[in-house]
Structure 1
Amino acid sequence: MEAAMAMLTGRRVLLAGLGAGMLARPARARTRYVFDQNVGRLEFVARHLGVLSSTGRFEDFSSELFIDPERPLTTSVQVTVRTAAVALAYPGAVELLRSPDFFDVERHPEATFRGAATGEGSLARFPLAGDLTIRGITRPFRMEGRLLDRRRDAALGREVADFSAGGEMKRSEFGMTAEQAAISDTIRLNVRVRLIV
Structure 2
Amino acid sequence: MRMGATSRRGLLAGLGALAGAPARPAAARSRYVFDARAGQLEFTARHLGVLTSTGRFEDFEAELLIDPERPLTSQVAVTVRTAAVALAYPGAVDLLRSPAFFDVERFPEARFSGRATGEGRLERFALAGELTIRGITRPHRMEARLVERRQDPALGREVAAFSAGGTLRRSEFGMTAEQAAISDEIRLTVRVRILV
TM-score, length-scaled by structure 1: 0.85
* Contact 1:18–1:69 (CA under 8 A) maintained in structure 2: no
- 8 A Cα contact 1:44 1:190, kept in partner: yes
Deviating above 2 A after TM superposition, structure 1's stretches of 4 or more consecutive aligned residues are 20-26, 149-161
**Are 1:104 and 2:103 counterparts?**
yes
What is aligned with 2:50? 51
Q: 2:76 — aligned with what?
A: 77
Residue type of the alignment partner of 1:34? V
| Structure 2: distance between partners of 1:185 and 1:144 | 20
For these two proteins, the number of residue pairs brought into alignment is 181
Identify the match of residue 20 of structure 1 among 1, 4, 8: 8
1:34 counterpart = 2:23: no
Seq. identity, %: 75
Output the amino acid matched with 2:189: N
1:70 is displaced (CA, Å) by 1.0
* Equivalent position SS for 1:42: strand
TM-score normalised by structure 2 residue count: 0.86
SS at match of 1:38: helix
The answer for the alignment partner of 2:124 in structure 1 is 125
**Structure 2: runs of 5+ lacking an equivalent:** 14-21
- The question of 1:138 aligning with 2:126 is answered no
| Alignment check: 8 A CA contact 1:34 1:62 kept | yes
Q: Quote the Cα distance in structure 2 between the aligned partners of 1:165 and 1:73.
A: 14
Deviation string, structure 1 residues 146-180 (Cα, Å, up to 9, x no partner): 01233455555555431100000000000000000
Letter in structure 2 aligned against 1:176: M
Larger Rg: 1
